[in-house]
Copies of this chain bind each other. A is one copy, B any other.
Amino acid sequence: MEYYFSNRVQTLKPSAIREIFKYAADPSVVSLSAGNPSPEAFPVEAIREISQRLLAENPIGVLQYSVTEGYPALRETLKKYMKAHHDIGTDDDDILITTGAQQIMDLASKALVNEGDAVITEAPSFIGSLNTFRSYNAKLVGVPMQSDGMDMDALENALKENKNAKLIYTIPNFQNPTGLTTSLEKRKRIYELAKEYGVMIIEDNPYGDLRYSGEYIPCIKSFDTEGIVIYAGSMSKVISPGMRVAYAIAPKPVFQKMVVCKQGNDVHTNVWSQMVCNEFITKYDFDAHLDMLRNKKRKKAEFMMKLMDEYLVPLGITYAPITGGLFTMCTLPEGVDMPSFCKSAVLNKVCVVPGNAFLTDESESCQLFRVNFSTPTDEQLERGIKLLAKTAKEYI
């Protein structure tokens, strides 16, 4: 049998990151390549208690089919929580529980993007989302990231030049892969430009609760009076990623189309995990849990920056100061061949993600590589950074 695949997947490749996980699975390799939350922060005890109680008191609710929109109590909980904590959500919005936030990109693309339409993204940006847009044959238009968010002139040009742009995709807090945060001024400008050009925004905010320093910045969705922002939130970085529970807050007409698309996608999200998340947020001290997460990760981030200052910066490798999230991006000095450096690093038993994996055009030249500091232990971090320094010395 000769297989004829659809146009949209002809050129789609497995995620470079998930391929790199295969190296990272070698226990002798220090992995700084993951995007995983630190496992010791999972609320295991609470989840065990809740799960037992649910299976004793409401096993049919846990195990039977549920509704596509999501477990009603969790939708209410998140609606209230996001209004109270982030001033997000109006009477014109509704909330959809999804199987991970990745599914939000899928459903929004399906509902809004025709083949050939443009999706404007930060460059670099999260490879998973880029691949979702690619899988709908969208044309990706990258807008370079600056230290305070996208280059606004480049964004406006992208909107001018792509009349068929349907979405602006942004990760405003502690962006994956750069770790950078978009300033309030630029958030407002993105919103104004989207309004002016009639383009919707996906605001992907998986790391928003993980700020370690600096001041809180309101989400773009909090000033969405026009109904043009789809907000993507997730339990993956604050409770558990394995559960695959996330949520979209979107204008009702868009919400309704996303629900119809989800019916044809996975019918509904695992209801057991939805119920566990709801119980955890409502009956446990969720804010204290978030504080604990932030404190643990802040220490890790500070330790990581200390290591990079000591071992990498003297070799000319720079990085963006970490203020939140799970990642930072390092920049190799001009003249060092980045892909070759990343390969040598793996041979030296430390694994990072080459920056071009996150570009809309992977063949572009790029001096960046992404490091994660949330998953490794302190000892692994130290060993990993020293191995990166060892690798760098072979090049510099």
Binding site for B on A (CB under 8 A): 1-9, 12-15, 18, 21, 34-37, 39, 42, 44, 47-48, 51-52, 55-56, 59-68, 98-100, 102-103, 105-106, 110-115, 117, 128, 131-132, 134-135, 166, 198, 226-228, 236, 240-244, 251, 253-254, 256-257, 259-261, 263-273
A7-B114, A135-B110 in contact; A269/B251 too (CB < 8 A)? no
Query: B residues within 8 A CB of A21?
Result: 67
- Number of this chain's copies in the assembly equals 2
Is the beta-carbon distance between A272 and B243 smaller than 8 angstroms?
Answer: yes
Query: B residues within 8 A CB of A106?
Result: 264-266
Q: Which residue of B lies closest to A99 (CB)?
A: B266
Is the beta-carbon distance between A5 and B257 smaller than 8 angstroms?
Answer: yes
Residue among A42, A260, A270 with the highest chain B CB neighbour number at 10 A? A270
Could you tell me the distance between the alpha carbons of A4 and B36 in the complex, rounded to whole angstroms? 36
Query: B residues within 8 A CB of A15?
Result: 260, 263
The 10 closest A-B pairs by CB, nearest first: A63-B240, A132-B264, A270-B270, A99-B266, A242-B271, A44-B59, A39-B60, A48-B55, A131-B264, A65-B241
Is the beta-carbon distance between A62 and B242 smaller than 8 angstroms?
Answer: yes
Query: B residues within 8 A CB of A3?
Result: 112, 251, 253-254
Is the beta-carbon distance between B110 and A259 smaller than 8 angstroms?
Answer: no
A59-B44, A271-B242 in contact; A266/B103 too (CB < 8 A)? yes
Tell me how far the C-beta of A2 lies from the nearest C-beta in chain B, rounded to whole angstroms.
8
Is the beta-carbon distance between B263 and A244 smaller than 8 angstroms?
Answer: no
Is the beta-carbon distance between B99 and A242 smaller than 8 angstroms?
Answer: no
Q: Which residue of B lies closest to A226 (CB)?
A: B1
Query: B residues within 8 A CB of A55?
Result: 44, 47-48, 51
A18-B68, A42-B60, A240-B63 in contact; A267/B111 too (CB < 8 A)? no
Can you list 30 A-B contacts (CB < 8 A)? A1-B228, A3-B112, A4-B166, A6-B113, A6-B117, A7-B114, A8-B114, A9-B110, A9-B257, A9-B261, A12-B260, A12-B264, A14-B263, A35-B65, A36-B64, A39-B63, A42-B60, A42-B64, A66-B242, A102-B266, A105-B264, A106-B264, A115-B115, A128-B263, A131-B260, A135-B261, A242-B271, A270-B270, A270-B272, A272-B272
Is the beta-carbon distance between B5 and A112 smaller than 8 angstroms?
Answer: yes
Contacts A21-B67, A103-B265, A244-B269 known; 12 new A-B pairs at CB < 8 A: A2-B198, A3-B254, A14-B256, A14-B260, A44-B63, A63-B242, A65-B241, A100-B266, A106-B265, A128-B264, A132-B265, A273-B273
Could you tell me the distance between the alpha carbons of A169 and B166 in the complex, rounded to whole angstroms? 33
Could you tell me the distance between the alpha carbons of A166 and B240 in the complex, rounded to whole angstroms? 39
Tell me how far the C-beta of A356 lies from the nearest C-beta in chain B, rounded to whole angstroms.
18
Is the beta-carbon distance between A267 and B102 smaller than 8 angstroms?
Answer: yes
